[in-house]
Structure 1
Amino acid sequence: MIVLGTISEALLYLCFSLLTGSFLLYLVPSHYRPEINVPKGALMLATGGIAILSFVPILQLILHLYHDIGLGQTLQSVLFTFEVGKAWIFTYILSNILFVFIVWFDFRKKLYTFIGIIFIFILMLALGWASHASSLDQWRGFLVHTIHFAAVTLWVGILFVVSWFSKNQTNWLNFLKWFTPVAISCFLITAVTGLILMSFVIDFSDYANAWMLPYGQALLLKHLLIIPLLSYAFINSILIRIRIKRNNNFNPIPWTKVESLIVFLIFSATAVLGQQSPPHDIETSLASGPSKLFALLYQGNITREMNMVISFGLNSYILLILGILFVIFTVLSFIKKAPPLFSFIMGVLCVLSFYLTLMLSIQ
């Protein structure tokens, strides 16, 4: 069920991003964006995906509880008395309405596009209400999670749609003029709200200690993936602008596709976080055992009273230098006109190098 939950949550983020990016781009005048063509079937699939994929946490909860009072009673109890269940009922109904709306109306027309955005935003509110942060601090958690999720899907949704549904690269410079500040703003909002959400489940002073747990490992990998993401943001916002001015026929879409793949890896790491028990108390959480990945890399004895210290040695410095070189190669691969796939590999290797740098520095 953990694997199912991880996959479903990553796909759920993708569904929201596709819908948000599509409807927002259709609001933008055509001369400020590349020509896009998002099939109606793709939006229908994404809408249906929200209704189905958002049920997976409900299913996990039901399977965890039904042994005591039976399947039928548990299903009724979870759906009608738990906040997460009531939020899913609302999500399911609204998703069906949006599905019918997409089928019946031309969502490319400005009025219908605006109505579609309202539907999507209300679905985000339902997701925020059912979030773990909301269960810990109802209104503050709900508000912060909703802002965080909305900023991510706005930024990533636009990136995803122009990467995979653009018919050509026309008007790309006009597109970058407004999308670059939007992406920077969304990234800053995401970073601030992400730190607030992290503070709900872990003390910042325990950040390194949390690496002993599966939750901390997923959180670390998610944060490290931001490094190649920023590298591609630099490529796709600044270097591509220079390249297009020199060569009008240059196609930037393969490079935005690579950036969208890095984003999907971040979605996957976030989904893994959602399947792990948050380490409110690391010593108590360690009673269930440390992360298998951490136990594989850490050669010392793992105890509940451990307080990890980072101390760089020769191997750590070598890996750190390798990680920095891989970041440089990620950018240089664009400058030297290497295939985007090579750049993607460099980005993954930089994450791996920085990860091993930290893991092998633990004392």
Structure 2
Amino acid sequence: MNVLIPISEFGNYLMFSILAGHVVLQFVPEGSKPKLNVPKSVLLLSTLGIIIFTLVPIVQVIFYFKDSVGLQQATMSVLTEFQVGKSWIFIGFMATFLWMTIYVKGSKYLQMLLLFLMVLGVGYASHSASLSFWKGLFSHTTHFLIVSLWTGILIHISWFSKNHSSWLKFLRWFTPFAIVCLVVIFISGFILMVPIVEPKDYVKSWVLPYGQMLLLKHISIIPVIVFAFVNGFLVKKAMNHSTFNPRPWLIGESILLMFVFYFTAVMGTLSPPHTIDLTVISEGASPWVEWLLGIDIIVPLHVQFIPFFQTILLIVISFVFLAMIIVSFKNRKPYLGLIFGVSFMAAVYMGLMLSMSI
């Protein structure tokens, strides 16, 4: 079950993104986007996938309580009393109606409403909503919705477009849209992070599995931004060459976003470290961090960030990898840009982790 939870979380992000991209692109005029060929089966399976993937955490909670109260009582209690259970029932109903609406090619406005209600259900079941209901509900719903919209458009345009006609017209509205999405994602993400990991404890949280995933998530966003810069600005100049195909660069950006999704999905399975020292006492520090630093982590924690020559060199090399993404674009080699993006994540992660002193 512990293996299935991250997979289900990742699947949820992907399925919601595919549906969000489909819904929002219906409102874009045909002349302002490339011609798309999205199989209806992909949309229908995405809707069903959400029902299945959102069920996995429910099953985990049920199995946690079944030995003490019995399977039937545990199931009824989780579905009727827990936020995650009530949310799944609501999302399941909305997803069923959305499936029928897509199947009969129903109103795009109805599809938009049903999808928004499903996203609202995700926000209702979030950890942030359990801490501060209205603030958490609004922040998580906004964050999840904007990420789904931005990623969903990228997935549709990169993987399902038949050609790159109208690409410049597409970039004319999508580039400012993506910039606004990034700003909203950063603000809402910060609001979601602060109640769990205060900025002053950010480096300290790296000793925990949750902090590790949070760090990797933040690191993985950086090459995505570089790819977004390439796709939003440099592509416009390259489109003057008739042989240039912009799709592989959007595919590269969407693949890098999958790293962000994966790290976020794993975070959802870990205990949030509201008090880091207490979390270390109750659950222990990350075995990976202890192995990497060659020490046993004990409380009270006194974590410092002390870079030395080798770690500074790693961080410098990581930014060289970022610059090489731009170079690979000039050489028209998107696969190299993707490799450099992943290399950046590895180099900067190792540079930061090895700079920790505990």
Q: Secondary structure at the match of 2:305?
A: coil
Alpha-carbon shift at residue 248 of structure 1 (Å): 3.1
1:269 maps to what in 2?
263
Q: Which residue of 300, 306, 328 corresponds with 1:305?
A: 300
Q: Secondary structure at the match of 2:304?
A: coil
- In structure 2, C-alpha distance between the alignment counterparts of 1:98 and 1:200, rounded to whole Å: 34
Quote the sequence identity (%).
Answer: 40
- In structure 2, C-alpha distance between the alignment counterparts of 1:64 and 1:34, rounded to whole Å: 48
Q: Which residue of 320, 323, 327 corresponds with 1:328?
A: 323
1:170-211 residue CA offsets vs partner (Å, 9 max, x unmatched): 000000000000000011000000000001211211111110
- In structure 1, C-alpha distance between the alignment counterparts of 2:98 and 2:78, rounded to whole Å: 25
TM-score (norm 1): 0.96
Alpha-carbon shift at residue 150 of structure 1 (Å): 1.0
Equivalent runs, 1:100-139 vs 2, <5 Å:
100-104=100-104, 106-107=105-106, 112-139=107-134
Q: Which residue of 337, 345, 351 corresponds with 2:339?
A: 345
2:237 maps to what in 1?
242
Alpha-carbon shift at residue 229 of structure 1 (Å): 0.6
Equivalent runs, 1:154-303 vs 2, <5 Å:
154-244=149-239, 246-287=240-281, 288-303=283-298
Query: Which amino acid in the other structure matches residue 338 of structure 2?
Result: F
1:72-118 residue CA offsets vs partner (Å, 9 max, x unmatched): 110001001112111111111111111111112x25xxxx1221111
Q: Secondary structure at the match of 1:307?
A: coil
- CA contact 1:27–1:114 (8 Å) conserved in 2: no
2:43 maps to what in 1?
43
Alpha-carbon shift at residue 64 of structure 1 (Å): 1.2
- CA contact 2:94–2:115 (8 Å) conserved in 1: no
Query: Which amino acid in the other structure matches residue 256 of structure 2?
Result: I
134-143 or 247-256, which deviates more: 247-256
- In structure 1, C-alpha distance between the alignment counterparts of 2:132 and 2:144, rounded to whole Å: 17
1:63 maps to what in 2?
63
268-277 or 300-309, which deviates more: 300-309
1:292-347 residue CA offsets vs partner (Å, 9 max, x unmatched): 22112112341121221111111111101110111111111011222x22111111
Q: Point out where structure 2 has 5 or more consecutive residues left out of the alignment.
A: none
Alpha-carbon shift at residue 2 of structure 1 (Å): 2.1
1:318 maps to what in 2?
313
1:43-85 residue CA offsets vs partner (Å, 9 max, x unmatched): 0000001111111111111111111001111000100111211
TM-score (norm 2): 0.98
- CA contact 2:290–2:296 (8 Å) conserved in 1: no
1:261-303 residue CA offsets vs partner (Å, 9 max, x unmatched): 0111100000010000000111111122111221121123411
> Which aligned runs of 4 or more in structure 1 are off by greater than 3 angstroms?
none
